[in-house]
């Protein structure tokens, strides 16, 4: 019930600490492997930072198991320092009812969108492992969207959606007109369905910024318009001081 995640540069943010979505993705992978059930919902609370070459211990606790669902918690820590806590529900229920009542935005395909330009050199971080193409960056509107893919992945998973669902801070940077950076306090992923897709459309919608914090949602679309999942975050913002 204990798993280990070596913290390397390739799963860190450009600021040098573990990228929150990678921590949530690792916890989701632990839950799914141990229970044998797919994640429906998982939420991470980020308590502290950790940097290479630390090792994150991931301890799994099964809170309840029923015929079709399991409730579980993963605590992540480096030594005695708590880094994150992830709660989740897993399962699958065979019912005929289904539907999708939101639609993907009409956007150009990835091949017609320019590569995303970063404002500083991210080094050997998670950003170097993602190919991103900008669909919309409209300062002051609260809407940002980009196509992304992870060439190293063989298939999509809930864990990979957790990584892509951790980009509300990027949306916050485009929503306000001043230069800021931000750190996630949490990340909640809700998985609808995982389908084969080369690219994922990350559709960021910032709702509000107030009192030094920002809040937003992300819709994660396949390249043919299937809603694979949603994510939501709150983040602490601060003035940008350069790289």
Q: Is the pLDDT of residue 97 over 60?
A: yes
pLDDT tens-digit profile of 6-34? Answer: 999 999 998 899 999 999 999 999 999 99
Q: Would you kindly state where each structural domain of the chain is located, as residue ranges?
A: 2-92+109-239
CATH of 2-92+109-239, picked from 3.40.50.720, 1.20.1740.10, 2.60.120.200, 2.40.160.210, is 2.40.160.210
Instruction: For residues 109 and 94, give the distance between their C-alpha atoms in angstroms, rounded to a whole number.
Output: 34
Q: Which H/E stretch holds residue 161?
A: helix 158-164
Tokens standing for residue 6: 């070596």
pLDDT tens-digit profile of 202-225? Answer: 999 999 999 999 999 999 999 999
Q: Is 184 left (phi over 0), alpha (psi -120 to 50) or beta?
A: beta
pLDDT tens-digit profile of 41-82? Answer: 999 999 999 999 999 999 999 999 999 999 999 999 999 999
Phi, psi of 72 (to 5 degrees): -145, 160
């Amino acid at each position: 019930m204990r798993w280990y995640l070596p913290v390397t540069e390739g799963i860190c943010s450009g600021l040098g600490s573990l990228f929150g979505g990678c921590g949530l993705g690792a916890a989701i992978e632990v839950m799914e492997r141990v229970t044998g059930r797919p994640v429906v919902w998982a939420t991470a609370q980020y308590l502290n930072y950790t940097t290479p070459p630390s090792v994150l211990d991931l301890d799994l606790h099964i809170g309840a198991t029923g015929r079709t669902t399991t409730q579980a918690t993963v605590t992540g820590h480096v030594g005695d320092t708590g880094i994150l806590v992830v709660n989740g529900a897993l399962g699958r229920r065979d019912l005929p009812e289904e539907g999708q009542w939101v639609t993907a935005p009409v956007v150009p395909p990835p091949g017609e969108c320019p590569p995303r330009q970063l404002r500083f050199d991210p080094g050997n971080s998670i950003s170097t492992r993602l190919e991103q193409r900008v669909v919309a960056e409209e300062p002051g509107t609260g809407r940002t969207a980009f196509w992304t893919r992870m060439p190293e992945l063989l298939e999509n998973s809930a864990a990979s959606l957790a990584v892509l669902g951790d980009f509300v801070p990027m949306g916050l940077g485009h929503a306000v007109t001043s230069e800021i950076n931000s750190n996630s306090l949490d990340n909640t992923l809700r998985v609808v369905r995982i389908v084969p897709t080369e690219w994922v459309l990350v559709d960021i919608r910032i709702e509000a910024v107030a009192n030094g914090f920002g809040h937003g949602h992300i819709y994660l679309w396949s390249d043919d318009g299937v809603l694979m999942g949603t994510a939501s975050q709150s983040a602490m913002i601060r003035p940008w001081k350069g790289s």
